[in-house]
Structure 1
């Protein structure tokens, strides 16, 4: 039995559409990128680095004061950022106040970077070569995907 040309064309289009939907469903997980700004999964560094009991004790001694200082510094930066934004969006922006807040933030960020460097050097000193390499790769992977909140806010 012969089918008219339009019936064969309709069958071909239907088949192509079905194959396209199936291909899209199969390939979708591979093509979908993770949403911007999603945090990397938390890693418990002492476990990830397989620290010995002696290394863990030294690590804990380094980590507590570092995390306390870092938290306090972030609080100070947050307060200055809020003040900066308020000055920028004031009815009459005061350029001197804006510049002062920006300078305070830069000073706090520089101090924070020095804390982080000192901490990483101290951690490096207590790790053996394989552990240092694992920490290096973890940090490089995290830094490669970082974006500031402002960058995420303005991306579309």
Structure 2
């Protein structure tokens, strides 16, 4: 069954936002608790995980190229999202242009998701059992608590 293009577009945007949440979880320092009604306190993730000096050196060596790739990929996704929205709201929307931007976003998101998965697997391999448990719980808690930008816009 063929889905209307607007559904595919919404799914692509939703996937991009979900990947953004994953990236934020990986990149943002972890809190022990989230204050009621506010943003989580900023905590340095290597400290939160209680990394040893050796682990910290490996972590920093892995983080720098990962963050660079992530930033570059997000710039590309942002550029295609802007083009997609402009095509959608053009005086005469062109279906082929919309579909091309959606496909480009999907490719970039798939690459982004693979980067995040690879990074998490590398971090997992470096961590001991207690550290893995802390990181797992943090990720699961953040997934349950964070809303997408669209959800935030529609709640106001």
5+ residue gaps, structure 2, are 1-35
Q: Residue 71 of structure 2: SS of its match in structure 1?
A: helix
Query: TM-score, normalised to structure 2's length?
Result: 0.73
5+ residue gaps, structure 1, are 1-32
Q: How many angstroms apart in 2 are the aligned matches of 1:72 and 1:53?
A: 29
**Alignment length (residue pairs):** 121
Query: What residue number does 1:42 align with?
Result: 42
Instruction: Kindly indicate whether residue 126 of structure 2 is the aligned counterpart of residue 118 of structure 1.
Output: no
Q: How many angstroms apart in 2 are the aligned matches of 1:89 and 1:50?
A: 49
- Residues 40 and 142 in structure 1, CA contact (< 8 A), matched pair in contact too: no
Matches within 5 A, 1:1-156: 34=37, 39-156=39-156
1:145 deviates by: 1.7
- CA RMSD between the two structures: 1.3
What does the per-residue CA deviation read over 1:46-90, in whole Å, with 9 as the maximum and x for residues that have no partner?
Answer: 100110000000101100000000011111111011001100110
1:154 deviates by: 2.3
Query: TM-score, normalised to structure 1's length?
Result: 0.73
Q: How many angstroms apart in 2 are the aligned matches of 1:40 and 1:94?
A: 42
1:41 deviates by: 2.7
Runs of 4+ in 1 over 3 A off after TM superposition: none
Q: 1:74/1:130 Cα in 2 relative to 1: closer, same or farther (>3 Å)?
A: same
Q: How many angstroms apart in 2 are the aligned matches of 1:39 and 1:102?
A: 31
